[in-house]
Structure 1
Amino acid sequence: MSISQLIGPRRVHPDISALDGGCCAVAGVGSGWDDRVVSASANRLPVVLLHGWPVTQEHWRHIVPLLQRAGFAPHPMTMPGLGEAAGEFDRFRKSELAGWVRDRLVERELTRFALVGHDWGGTVAVHVAAVMPRAVVALVVEEEILPGVDVEIPAPGSERYPTWHGPFNRVHGLAEQLVPGREAAYYGTFLEESAGPGGLEPMALRAYIDAYTTPGVLESGLGYYRTRVDDIVDVKRLHEVRVHTPVLAIGGRYAMGSAVAEGLRPVAPDVTALVLDQSGHYPLEQEPGLAGRAIIEFLRRHAAETTAR
């Protein structure tokens, strides 16, 4: 079956602002936030959600209502260029993006919160935890191996997770010439392969491809891959600084699996591993119940521990 047959015609995908009633005003242009799903309660621990490439805030559509019902305040944030135009922002080194996130958090006066990062959002979340150790009470990394960390992906993920996209995206000028007009094939192939046999919901797949077809998004997304040399230098520094925030490392068996946790242990002494058997690169979409319960239990435990100190 072709990608176009799988995803069907272009359609409007219900966004996460409609979940659990939505509650607040729409975020300002360029803020990165989706205020429509942020709880107004000052007593709820904020949970900042950073998605990766090539998905959007739709990745959080299952976890947002679970977090709300569990008494947390989810704060979905889109980093520059990930499904939305980056505007004038053109610094995609992950440590610099962590600074961008930190500035948004300071603007919101968030002084105590948890972080959940998927894919590139996971690397950025680790850097945020490193520079804001007293603010971040718990960190969840979903399907990410830090740049430059040498760790083997176990089977069956090693046989299924695509490896072509990184080298392709890093070649200056190549994707810019080949992808325009072929976005469904380019993004769709990666999304389908990385999801493993369980796949993604067709409406989500369609929504992701549509978002990354937006003018300027291709170039910004490629920028995330073209800072690899600097990203590796910054991760090496983390080996010295260390991230002392408790970490829950979530992998999909058909993608990175246990390599997520193994790749974090050199920079973080307190890592809990979770591998979801039916998932590929998107556990919070593919096994939302199991992943959601694990995250909520982890956040509750560590939020209570920090409160008691």
Structure 2
Amino acid sequence: MDTPMPEASGFDHLTIATRGLASHVAVVGEGAPVVMLHGFPQHWWQWRDIGPRLAERGYRVICPDLRGAGWTVAESPRIERETRRHDLVALLDAMGFDRVRLVGHDMGAMAAMQLAYTDPERVEALVWLAAPPPFMSFSPKMLGALRHLPPLVWHRPGRSLAAIFGEAYAVRPLAPVTVETYLAPMRRPEVDAAVRWLYRGMVLPEAVRIARGAYTAQRLRPPTLCAFGRRDGAYSEADLRRLTGDPTRYADHFEFAFIDDASHFITDDAPEAVSEVILEHFARADASA
């Protein structure tokens, strides 16, 4: 099914072929590479406002549609715990990037996190958006962040995901045209079918590893910023700091940032503020290199 590509000022569109995958990649700007990994159920267009802001500051911003999302086409719908990390490594190799700055939101943060642990030499600086650090302790208070899981694990093809963009996850419900733009690729059967693969094959197995403390036994090497909206009801600043404890136990350089008037869909709630915390983190990482 042919789904029209949404428009975003300044972006060029590429198709990068790797083994078993034809990745759609939106690119804007020139300079040091920044790879931005979208969340769920989003795609490259999530970065429509942030990408050009970073490009204005001298970066080449690369926004791929991850496997099972957007306009990327995969030979197989199967997605396992590290499938997207393997895809990301293959994409970086194909584009000739040995080392990048990396930004990930939600599920995109999961792939970014995995790469930072397995291939730290390839990550100049790392930003997680609306995703807790994997070495954070568990608390029953976090269960509210998981209430969306059951219907997604058992997602039925054709069932709308529009409710995900409601008031529980955004400061202001997204405009209908924005929701429709995010969900338009779901009309492709392979993208709709990927929802259950994502949650059963990737999210749940990774969540089990995190719960068992797999990342408390490893060290996070790249300088990392973890940014949340202050109105993200699943994660308060006090709880995040308390459950993380002393991050120097697990990371060489780790810090939090909290953005006012933003919730889980932080890049739609506050794109300008998100752009600034990313740029400031990159500048600090460069200064300490």
TM tier, smaller: 0.7 to 0.9
Q: Which residues in structure 2 correspond to 1:166-245 (within 5 Å)?
A: 166-171=149-154, 175-176=155-156, 180=158, 182-183=159-160, 187-227=161-201, 228-232=203-207, 234-235=209-210, 236-245=213-222
TM-score, normalised with respect to structure 1 = 0.77
Greater shift, 92-101 or 225-234, is seen at 225-234
Give the structure 1 partner of residue 121 of structure 2: 134
Give the structure 2 partner of residue 15 of structure 1: 7
Give the structure 2 partner of residue 5 of structure 1: none
RMSD: 3.0
Between the aligned partners of 1:126 and 1:230, the Cα distance in structure 2 is: 15
Give the structure 2 partner of residue 275 of structure 1: 258
Q: 1:129: Cα distance to partner?
A: 0.9
Instruction: Find the residue that maps to 2:104 and give its secondary structure.
Output: strand
Q: Would you say 1:27 and 2:10 are equivalent positions?
A: no
Contact kept? 1:33, 1:78, Cα under 8 Å: yes
Q: Which residues in structure 2 correspond to 1:91-170 (within 5 Å)?
A: 91-145=78-132, 150-152=137-139, 163-170=146-153
Instruction: Find the residue that maps to 1:244 and give its secondary structure.
Output: coil
Contact kept? 1:278, 1:286, Cα under 8 Å: yes
Between the aligned partners of 1:106 and 1:28, the Cα distance in structure 2 is: 11
Contact kept? 2:25, 2:62, Cα under 8 Å: yes
Between the aligned partners of 1:223 and 1:230, the Cα distance in structure 2 is: 11
Greater shift, 129-138 or 191-200, is seen at 191-200
Give the structure 1 partner of residue 278 of structure 2: 295
Instruction: Find the residue that maps to 1:299 and give its secondary structure.
Output: helix
Aligned residues: 275
Instruction: Find the residue that maps to 2:257 and give its secondary structure.
Output: strand
Q: 1:167: Cα distance to partner?
A: 1.9
- From 33, 57, 60, the equivalent of 2:44 is 57
Between the aligned partners of 1:127 and 1:241, the Cα distance in structure 2 is: 11
Q: 1:106: Cα distance to partner?
A: 1.4
1:55 maps to a residue whose letter is: Q
Q: 1:279: Cα distance to partner?
A: 1.0
Q: Would you say 1:78 and 2:65 are equivalent positions?
A: yes
Between the aligned partners of 1:247 and 1:148, the Cα distance in structure 2 is: 13
Give the number of the structure whose residues are more often strand, by fraction. Answer: 2
Instruction: Find the residue that maps to 2:171 and give its secondary structure.
Output: helix
Q: Which residues in structure 2 correspond to 1:242-261 (within 5 Å)?
A: 242-255=219-232, 256-258=235-237
Stretches of structure 2 that go unaligned for 5 or more consecutive residues are none
Contact kept? 2:132, 2:226, Cα under 8 Å: no
Stretches of structure 1 that go unaligned for 5 or more consecutive residues are 1-10
Instruction: Find the residue that maps to 2:170 and give its secondary structure.
Output: helix
Residues 137 and 67 from structure 1, CA distance in 2 versus in 1: closer, same or farther, beyond 3 angstroms?
same
Instruction: Find the residue that maps to 1:115 and give its secondary structure.
Output: strand
Percent identity, aligned pairs only, is: 22
Contact kept? 2:262, 2:270, Cα under 8 Å: yes
Q: 1:275: Cα distance to partner?
A: 1.6
Between the aligned partners of 1:277 and 1:207, the Cα distance in structure 2 is: 25
Contact kept? 2:231, 2:262, Cα under 8 Å: yes
Instruction: Find the residue that maps to 1:199 and give its secondary structure.
Output: coil
Q: 1:294: Cα distance to partner?
A: 1.1
Residues 78 and 194 from structure 1, CA distance in 2 versus in 1: closer, same or farther, beyond 3 angstroms?
farther
Q: 1:128: Cα distance to partner?
A: 0.7
Residues 52 and 196 from structure 1, CA distance in 2 versus in 1: closer, same or farther, beyond 3 angstroms?
closer
Instruction: Find the residue that maps to 2:285 and give its secondary structure.
Output: helix
Contact kept? 2:38, 2:104, Cα under 8 Å: yes
Contact kept? 2:65, 2:72, Cα under 8 Å: no
